[in-house]
């Protein structure tokens, strides 16, 4: 997906429409807008991971949320077991664990099933997600925990009268760096092109000397990285329980990816922000409906898939 003028225009237009819509319809405008943007980090990163895996392998990765939850737990444990590496060291450890998880999943499950129908792989990743959640419940019990933030100041930034914590701002900054880096990777580096090539034509790619196995490992490792970042950046902003990022982020993440056009990385990013808005809207405006966010998300997903299945920025697949 090229980061060209059309894409950028569409992204900006969508964002503008979003802000405008929120400003007009939201009951608590400031809260909706500010929360919508600042809480978008986990949704965007999960959506990016989903879009990446789908674009490169055609698989719907239901374990994407768990990459994040595993990272949160790893961060928590690292602070508990070896506080002497410092917070940054702990974050690094957590992200590495998530990457390792991604690589393990690729090697143990995805590769043996590489010839299987995509639906089978979906079920397999769902099974992995459940296994991960079950293990967390087993080892950690179903209680809510808290891990301290990277940056704890809450009132440095104030937008539209609402305080945005340092942690959230950090998340947004890292997220933007990641998105730009990914775009550069896919558009400009030969490795990135190799990934795209192997997704469309694995046999020919092999013949060109590119190892499809390595590419597959790279993709899933990247996906683990994205998941890990989501966990590490967003996890500390609240309490977390086993399966946190799956129960909170999986359905919205998928909706976001589909919204943006499941093969478009900038689209996934845009979709993440959109979904974040919808969730915020659901909490404020839709507070009279029980489970407002879930309801709005469902309507949005059904609507998009019915009306424009290729999403906002997706081309035909």
Partner 1 sequence: MSVAAAPRLAASAGTASIAARLPRLAVLGVIALVVVGAPFLTDPVDSTRFSEAIAFAVIGLSLNVLLGYVGSISLGHAAFVGVGSFASAYMVSQQGQPFVVGVVVAALIGGAQAGLLGILSLRVTGLYFALITLAYGAMAQDTLFGIDSLTGGGAGQEAPNPFGPSAFRAYYFLSLAVLGLVLYVDWSLMRSKAGRALLALRENPRVAASLGIDVKAFTLLGFVISGTFAGIGGALFAHNVGQANSQVYSFNLTLIFVIMTVVGGLRNRAGVVVGSALFALITYVIEKVPGLAGRFENADSTIPVIALLVFGGILVNEAVGGRLGQRPRLAVQILCAIMVLLALAIIAPGTVPLAETQLRELPALTPEIGRLVLGPVLLLVVLTRLPGGIGQLITPFSRWIGGHDFEWSSGKVEEVQVNDVRA
Q: In the complex, which residues of this chain contact partner 1 (CB under 8 A)?
A: 58, 60, 109, 112-113, 116-120, 122-124, 126-131, 133-135, 137-139, 141, 246-247, 250-251, 254-255, 258, 289-292, 294-295, 297-298, 301-302, 305-306, 309, 317
Instruction: Rank residues 227 and 282 by Cβ distance to partner 1 and give the closer one.
Output: 282
Q: How far is the CB of 288 from partner 1 (least distance, A)?
A: 11
Cα 143 to Cα 77, 138, 140: the distances in Å are 15, 11, 7
State the nearest-atom distance from the C-beta of 240 to partner 1, in Å: 17
Shortest Å distance, C-beta 125 to partner 1 = 10
Q: Which is nearer to partner 1, 236 or 243 (CB)?
A: 243
CB nearer to partner 1: pick between 168 and 240: 240
CB nearer to partner 1: pick between 230 and 251: 251
Minimum CB distance to partner 1, residue 132 (Å): 9
Min. distance of Cβ 55 from partner 1 in angstroms? 12
**Which of 188, 214 has the CB closer to partner 1?**
214
């Amino acid at each position: 997906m090229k980061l060209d003028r059309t894409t950028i225009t569409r992204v900006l237009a969508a964002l503008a429409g979003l802000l405008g819509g929120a400003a007009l319809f939201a009951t608590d405008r400031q809260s909706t807008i500010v929360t919508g943007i600042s809480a978008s980090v986990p949704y965007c990163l999960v959506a990016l991971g989903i879009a990446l895996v789908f674009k490169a392998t055609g698989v719907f990765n239901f374990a994407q949320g768990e990459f994040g939850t595993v990272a949160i737990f790893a961060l928590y444990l690292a602070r508990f077991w070896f506080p002497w590496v410092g917070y940054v060291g702990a974050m690094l450890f957590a992200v590495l664990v998530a990457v390792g998880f991604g690589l393990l999943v690729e090697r143990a499950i995805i590769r043996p099933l590489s010839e299987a129908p995509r639906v089978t792989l979906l079920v397999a990743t769902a099974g992995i997600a459940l296994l991960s959640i079950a293990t967390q419940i087993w080892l950690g019990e179903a209680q809510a925990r808290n891990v301290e933030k990277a940056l704890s100041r809450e009132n440095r930034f104030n937008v539209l009268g609402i305080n945005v914590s340092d942690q959230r701002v950090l998340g947004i900054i890292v997220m933007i760096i990641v998105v730009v880096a990914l775009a550069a990777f896919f558009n400009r580096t030969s490795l990135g092109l190799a990934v795209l090539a192997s997704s469309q034509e694995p046999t020919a790619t092999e013949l060109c000397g590119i190892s499809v196995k390595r590419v597959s490992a790279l993709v899933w490792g990247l996906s683990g990285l994205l998941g890990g970042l989501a966990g590490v950046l967003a996890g500390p902003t609240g309490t977390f329980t086993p399966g946190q990022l799956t129960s909170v982020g999986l359905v919205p993440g998928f909706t976001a990816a589909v919204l943006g056009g499941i093969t478009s990385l900038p689209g996934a990013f845009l979709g993440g922000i959109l979904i974040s808005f919808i969730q915020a809207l659901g909490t404020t405006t839709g507070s009279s409906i029980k489970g407002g966010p879930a309801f709005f998300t469902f309507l949005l997903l059904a609507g998009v898939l019915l009306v424009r299945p290729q999403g906002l920025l997706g081309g035909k697949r």
